[in-house]
A and B are shown apart, each in its own frame.
Chain A
Amino acid sequence: MKGAVWRLQWAVALRRRRLLWWNLLVPALLLVPVALSGAASVHKTVVFTLFVAFFGAYGSCIPLIRDGDSGWSEKVLLTGYGARSWLIERLLASTVLDWVQLIPVSLVLVWLARGRLADAAPVLATLAMALLFANLLGTVVAALVRSLAEAALGCAIVCLVALHLAGVFRTPAADTWAGTAARISPFRPLLEAWRRGASAGPEGWIPPLLALAVAAVFFVSAAGLLGRRMAEKQAV
């Protein structure tokens, strides 16, 4: 891995300051009113998790489609940069950027719920994992669709299914396949961290190692497969 794509992603993101500010402001404008509302905390955390999933998935999918349409992705691959390295660096840069952009609003939400920031660490840690997974979902969608319209629809469907499987919309019984799916979903730890951090829930947090392992395996295997698929897609 040469790191050129990673550096380029950051250079472009930092140069596009307007977009950077929007990505800091929009989450706050959408989520803070929800946090201040009188909705039940279980509903608030669903909204928070849903937002993170969409933020990550759209944030990786749409630029990939756009760069594919403009020919930029093909240009990068034509320099001899490996498709896998290109995709992994892009994904990691996009995930870290998303994470950095969501840190402020996450801290605000935790502070609004509990009046202190001591419980923010689990939220921020699981936020990174959820964003990595959401970015991967967005990349999967980008590899399969042919237009921005399809991408928008695809991201919505894939995210909602993934969130449903994570037990975000309902709590499945632990001894069922749905319970197992929810337990290993990389979105689930974020939901639980929100419930602890952004509500008056129970104290304590156990690192979600299983979900972390699932995210890592999914990331490595998907990046390899998707890199090849994306490279072929740019060619035609």
Chain B
Amino acid sequence: MFPSPPVVGSGLTFSYGRGPPVLAEVGLTLHEGEVLGLVGANGSGKTTLLRLIAGRLRPQAGTLAVTIPDPAVVFDRLPFQESLTGAENVRATLALRGRKRAADRQIGERSLSDFGLAQASNQTVSAYSFGMRRRLALAEALASEPFLLLLDEPTVGLDPLGRDSLTTALEQVSARGGAVLAATNDADFAERCCSRVLLMHLGKVVAEGPPDSLIADLEAPTIITVEFTGPGPMGSPPGGLATLNTAPASPPAAPAPASRATEFSSSTGTAALADLCAWFTAAGAEISTVHVREPGLADVLRSVAGVGLEAGHQGMIDAHAAPSP
């Protein structure tokens, strides 16, 4: 085994050329068996931090210790030998890592199968779609059974099945004591797969912890949107709820009957949902849709980036307000 923890960095600073610092005194520790997410907006320094850890860049200040040599890496670019098949590409990568035994080949084939590429493994990569290339890149990286896996935006281009495969693969790496560092914009993925998250903003780590804990710390309300027709209820909503917004679901110039969407914030989650529905029904309204949106890591990200929660919710309101075709 390797000395633990696999990655320890402190005070990491980096800038490209003479530009402003992309990373400013970033510290992180990646433990064995951990799936750590680097979550942040575009340009927050996630990829640069990943490249420092992969050894492709050198920090201009700070210390970085990576105790596991030659981590498996999947960067945003997905280079392959286009004229070779998927299976040949995996075998080539394994050979570059010095693994040429028959058992290694079998692991490569299994990895392709795990990512749903068993049938396509004998096609040349030039015929692969973007999503298949992403799967192949992940299969290649995982075929070497790495103890340190660095991923940059691993879910881009993946369909739900591919995401499931990725989740399973990361669980397997974690279960055998490996460590995973994934830079991602995908808050859902981070919530689902990462045991801990570093939130980055403008080159700094601004928050750190398990996703649930970060979300709880935000103390953001649950947003409940009710779409209805007929007369809407008047007055204040039932306890624990506050009306955020009411928007007509059809343009004002359109003839009645117009369905409307009203949005409520709830400090008690979905506890008051039944009361809310009863309140609408009592007023003679016919509810067509109820949409519940719990606060998530994306809200934490918006909060960190200084964007009000309203920005995130407004899109949902607008979507509900759009006229039916």
Contacts and interface: CB of A to CB of B under 8 A. Distances in A.
Given A4-B95, A5-B96, A7-B95, A78 B70 contact: yes
Interface string A1-32: 01011011001100110000000000000000
Q: What is the interface of chain A mostly: helix, strand, loop, or mixed?
A: helix
A72 B81 contact: yes
B83 A15 contact: yes
B92 A78 contact: no
Contacts of A7: 95
Contacts of A11: 81, 84, 88, 92
Given A5-B96, A11-B88, A80-B70, A72 B79 contact: yes
Nearest to B96: A79
A18 B18 CA distance: 45
Nearest to B77: A71
Nearest to B55: A78
Interface string B54-78: 1111000000000001100101011
Contacts of B73: 78
A8 B79 CA distance: 14
A12 B70 CA distance: 25
Interface in A61-77: 67, 70-72, 74-76
B163 interface: no
Interface string B14-40: 001000000000000000000000000
A81 interface: yes
Given A4-B96, A8-B92, A15-B84, A78 B56 contact: yes
Nearest to B92: A8
Which of under 10, 10 to 19, 20 to 34, or 35 or more describes the interface residues of B? 20 to 34
A80 B56 CA distance: 11
Nearest to A74: B56
A235 B57 contact: yes
Nearest to B17: A236
A12 B81 contact: yes
B51 interface: yes
B97 interface: yes
Contact of B83 (A16, A70, A75): A16
Contacts of B69: 80
A79 B97 contact: yes
Given A2-B98, A15-B83, A79 B77 contact: no
B96 A12 contact: no
B81 A8 contact: yes
B270 interface: no
Nearest to A79: B96
Given A71-B75, A81-B96, A235 B81 contact: no
B79 A70 contact: yes
Pick the most buried of A71, A72, A75, A235: most chain B CB atoms within 10 A of its CB: A75
Nearest to A8: B92
A5 B73 CA distance: 19
B93 interface: yes
Contacts of B88: 11
Nearest to A80: B70
A5 B84 CA distance: 14
Nearest to A11: B84
Contacts of A75: 79, 93
Given A4-B96, A12-B84, A235 B79 contact: no
Given A8-B81, A8-B96, A78-B54, 11 more contacts: A4-B96, A11-B84, A12-B83, A70-B79, A71-B75, A71-B77, A72-B81, A75-B79, A79-B93, A234-B56, A235-B51
13 contacts: A4-B96, A8-B92, A11-B81, A11-B84, A11-B92, A74-B56, A74-B79, A78-B70, A80-B70, A80-B96, A80-B97, A234-B56, A235-B51
Q: Which 7 A-B pairs have the closest CB atoms?
A: A80-B70, A71-B77, A71-B79, A72-B79, A79-B96, A4-B95, A235-B56
